[in-house]
Structure 1
Amino acid sequence: MRHHAGPLLGQDDPAPFEILNANGKGHSLFVCDHASREIPQSLGTLGLPDEERKRHIGWDIGARKVTEILVDRFDCPAVLGGYSRLVIDCNRQLWDPTGMPEIADQTVVPGNKNVSPTEHMKRIREIFLPYHWAIEEQIANFHAHKIVPALIAIHSFTPVFQDFERPWELGILWDQDDRIPVPLLARLREQNPDLTIGDNEPYSGRQLADYTIDHHGEAGGLPCVSIEIRQDLIDTDEGCDKWAKILGDAFVDILADPNLYKIRRD
């Protein structure tokens, strides 16, 4: 793939992040790292056909729509990632090779082969860092108003991975801070006894592939949680409406508790 000397993002490219409902009155901040499958024009298609870029390797199918519905319901701001995770994955440590994958779920990504350090730094400087600065700015806005926000990340996962049919409809990912995930698991299971709700399944919040929550939530002592929804359930608007309601109903009492919004220092 031919690299160029100019900036990664041009005037006609989308911004590296999008803010929803910036003046929302709720005390939570929603984030959606993999909301978009956009690729900068300077990178072409990364050598991939359109059908590959539309797959889960390019973005979290349905996650943006679910985030939009929850933002509207709880009147909270949100920060959405502006570019495909194939360009740079904003939910990975910068040293993680899956952050700019040469192979994504068995699909070779030609545009990520032999990327020079200079080109890699452009993706960090023009996409990764501005996205995370936008999250930091939203958190700082809360703090300026003497509010400790809850941080809620919305993701989606594939129904089948490496020939394993995943039984969970929802997964609640967490690490040290149990203030949201434990009551959320309890409410989801109580309100939806027929569902299979994963506790740190199909991924674990204790793994390093959870940068956004680790960096902004856990490190800052904020109440936080990462939500995973199975993609075949939210690949239509009707599905997004249904599962955003299931999640939102479970969140209502938790987010209404004023005792939640405190810095955790232990």
Structure 2
Amino acid sequence: MTQPEQFLPVIENETATSRIILVCEHASNLIPPAYNDLGLTLAQRQAHIAWDPGALALSRRLAQRLDATLIHAPVSRLVYDCNRAPDMPGAMPARSEVYDIPGNATISASERLARTEAVYLPWAAGLHALIAKRIALGRHPVLITIHSFTPIFHGKPRHLEFGVIHDADPHLAVAILDAAHKLTRLHADLNAPYSAADNVTHTLRLQATPYGLPNAMLEIRNDLIAAPASVNAMADQLAPVLNMGLVEIQRQAKAS
């Protein structure tokens, strides 16, 4: 297969005043023509296996309310999952949830390299550049990744509505969760529906931890952000939550 062009990350509101950088790794379900739909049906390409429905719309609303910068990936996570390292099986999965991914079943080492060069390396470099530039300006950023999850997983309903996940540093995640309990009625929990043990915190580990940046991963149940009105309502709830969480970790830093 001919190697496609590089797929650059999309950056919005780059001159924002907030310390927060919002990251949406699973923003798009686009599978470029060179990949022949990965052998999937239209319904499968629109399902959660290909992206996080509602995550980009919510990220954009939060970026507006918080005056935050947003960076999001331009292609489906089935082509390359930007929240996975190149050696992780989930970077180009042969199976996702209950679905086989025919176009990923027998990819060669050279094809894995081609996808890594086309999608992952531009993504990682673009996000790192955002972070490094702000550090150079003395504006140490806060990294928050935005994801959505399905109401039913392997046949079991999920009652959780809002999950906050951390990697090595729990401080911001705990502060956000405490704020969610104080300001909303969302069924919220820490390290749910996934945790770092599920290999979902690659972006945080690679981009935030080495610089000691506050960071957290947010998971919102996707039926709660399925329509524009519900996206707006969720953004109205979560923007004050994120602000309160940021204020709390700033308070902790001054007190230490």
User: Fold conserved (TM > 0.5)?
Assistant: yes
Are positions 1:198 and 2:198 aligned together?
no
Select 1:93's aligned residue among 79, 82, 85. Answer: 85
Are positions 1:67 and 2:63 aligned together?
no
Supply the distance in 2 between the matched residues of 1:156 and 1:61 (Cα, whole angstroms): 7
* SS of residue in 2 equivalent to 1:45: helix
CA RMSD of aligned residues (A): 1.8
Against the structure 1 CA distance between its residues 23 and 140, is the aligned structure 2 distance closer, same or farther, given a 3 Å change threshold? same
Matched residue type, 2:77: R
Select 1:154's aligned residue among 139, 146, 164. Answer: 146
Matched residue type, 1:240: V
Is contact 1:81–1:131 with CA below 8 Å preserved after alignment? yes
Against the structure 1 CA distance between its residues 108 and 35, is the aligned structure 2 distance closer, same or farther, given a 3 Å change threshold? same
Select 1:236's aligned residue among 204, 227, 230. Answer: 227
Supply the distance in 2 between the matched residues of 1:34 and 1:119 (Cα, whole angstroms): 21
Is contact 2:13–2:69 with CA below 8 Å preserved after alignment? yes
Against the structure 1 CA distance between its residues 260 and 16, is the aligned structure 2 distance closer, same or farther, given a 3 Å change threshold? farther
Select 1:119's aligned residue among 111, 120, 124. Answer: 111
Are positions 1:23 and 2:19 aligned together?
no
Is contact 1:181–1:225 with CA below 8 Å preserved after alignment? yes
Number of the residue aligned with 1:164: 156
Aligned-pair CA distance for 1:215: 0.9
Measured against aligned partners, the alpha-carbon deviations of 1:130-154 in whole angstroms (never above 9, x if no partner) come to 0011100000111121111000000
Aligned-pair CA distance for 1:124: 0.2
Is contact 1:17–1:80 with CA below 8 Å preserved after alignment? yes
Aligned-pair CA distance for 1:261: 11
Q: Which runs of 5+ in 1 are unaligned?
A: none
Supply the distance in 1 between the matched residues of 2:74 and 2:14 (Cα, whole angstroms): 16
Identity of aligned residues (%): 31
Matched residue type, 1:90: C
Measured against aligned partners, the alpha-carbon deviations of 1:30-63 in whole angstroms (never above 9, x if no partner) come to 1000001111221121111111100000000100
Are positions 1:251 and 2:242 aligned together?
yes
Aligned-pair CA distance for 1:169: 0.5
Alignment length (residue pairs): 253
1:205-220 alignment, distance < 5 Å: 205-220=196-211
* SS of residue in 2 equivalent to 1:44: helix
Against the structure 1 CA distance between its residues 84 and 219, is the aligned structure 2 distance closer, same or farther, given a 3 Å change threshold? same
* SS of residue in 1 equivalent to 2:37: coil
Matched residue type, 1:33: E
Select 1:8's aligned residue among 4, 9, 27. Answer: 4
* SS of residue in 2 equivalent to 1:30: strand
Supply the distance in 2 between the matched residues of 1:261 and 1:20 (Cα, whole angstroms): 30
- Please identify, of 218-227 and 51-60, the stretch whose mean Cα deviation from structure 2 is larger: 218-227
Number of the residue aligned with 2:213: 222
Supply the distance in 1 between the matched residues of 2:180 and 2:111 (Cα, whole angstroms): 44
Number of the residue aligned with 1:50: 42
* The structure with more helix, counted as a fraction of residues: 2
Against the structure 1 CA distance between its residues 153 and 166, is the aligned structure 2 distance closer, same or farther, given a 3 Å change threshold? same
* SS of residue in 2 equivalent to 1:155: strand
Matched residue type, 2:215: C
Supply the distance in 1 between the matched residues of 2:35 and 2:70 (Cα, whole angstroms): 27
Matched residue type, 1:153: T
Supply the distance in 1 between the matched residues of 2:40 and 2:251 (Cα, whole angstroms): 44
